[in-house]
C-alpha cells in the first residue's frame, strides 16, 4: 500500500505488545511524526483524522494501512513489559496533543 508520503508496511507500522497482558498499541511512523492508532476503535492521532476523517466518516490513510498490515500479518512487533505501559501511553498522549495542536 502506498500513502501520500510513501509505502505503508512493516517498516512504518509497528505493534507494541505489552506482556504478560498482551495489550497492543499500534503506531505509524509518518514522514515527520509518529502517530498512534487504535484500529479496533477506528482512531488515529493524526491531524487528518481530527480535521477530516471525523467529519467525513472515512478513515485516514494511517488507519487504512494499519488495517491492511493486520490482515496480512506484516507488521513489526516490539515487546514491552506491562510495567512500561502507563509511561508509554502518557508519552503517546503528550505527542498526540502536539501533533494536533501544532501545524
State the cell numbers at 59: 478513515
- What pLDDT tens digit does each residue of the chain (103 aa) get? 334 444 444 468 899 999 999 999 999 987 778 888 989 988 888 888 877 777 787 888 888 989 998 898 888 889 999 999 999 989 888 877 665 555 5
Strands 76-81 and 13-19: parallel
CA-based nearest residue to 24, from 88, 98, 95: 88
Task: For the beta carbon of residue 6, count every other beta carbon within 10 angstroms.
Answer: 11
φ, ψ of residue 39 in degrees (nearest 5): -60, -30
Amino acid at each position: 500500500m502506498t500513502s501520500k508520503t510513501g509505502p505503508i508496511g512493516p517498516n512504518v507500522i509497528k505493534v507494541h505488545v505489552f506482556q504478560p497482558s498482551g495489550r497492543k498499541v499500534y503506531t505509524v511512523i509518518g514522514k515527520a511524526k509518529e502517530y498512534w492508532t487504535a484500529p479496533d476503535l477506528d482512531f488515529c492521532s493524526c491531524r487528518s483524522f481530527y480535521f477530516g476523517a471525523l467529519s467525513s466518516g472515512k478513515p485516514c490513510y494511517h488507519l487504512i494501512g494499519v488495517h491492511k498490515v493486520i490482515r496480512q500479518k506484516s507488521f513489526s512487533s516490539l515487546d514491552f513489559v506491562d510495567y512500561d505501559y502507563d509511561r508509554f501511553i502518557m508519552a503517546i498522549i503528550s505527542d498526540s496533543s502536539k501533533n494536533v495542536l501544532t501545524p
